[in-house]
Amino acid sequence: MGQTFPLTWLMTTSMEAAGVLIIGVSALISLAVALRGALHAARWSAAYDLFRASFGRGILLGLEFLVAADIIRTVVVTPSIQSVTVLALIILIRTFLSISLKAEIEGGWPWQRPQLQASASSDAGDPVRPARDADTH
């Protein structure tokens, strides 16, 4: 792949190991938290949702470390068209995975949330249009 410097190799390998370790540890912690919640609340569906959200966040964090290691490796090693193209594809795939996981965790696409929050806050602060009360409907 090209010449790598010992410090660069150590950094990228450490970041990749940290990413994999974060994903593995988050799986174990998420499973333990979900099982504890299921045993105390006796609601397996809520425990499953808790596991998915917690583990999804761990995967996202681990992916960030893996992407950072790929970026460092590509920038430090003499960049070629092939290495930059491979990096771009890796980042594209991991970005898609991150957006999909975030949508799964939060229950909607990232670009939908600001619109929902803006419409809710604009109703409350608008003197012409009063805030809606549950009692009036």
Q: What is the pLDDT of residues 20-39, one digit of tens each?
A: 999 999 999 999 988 888 88
Q: What is the pLDDT of residues 77-117, one digit of tens each?
A: 767 888 888 888 888 888 888 788 777 777 777 677 655 45
Q: Helix count (H) and strand count (E) of the chain?
A: 4, 0
**Cα–Cα distance between 97 and 109 in angstroms, integer?**
13
Cα-based distances in Å from 43 to 32, 36, 114, 123:
15, 11, 31, 36
Q: Which amino acid is it at 29? A: I
Evaluated on CA atoms 93, 94, 99, 102, the torsion sign reads positive
Q: Is the pTM of this model over 0.75?
A: no
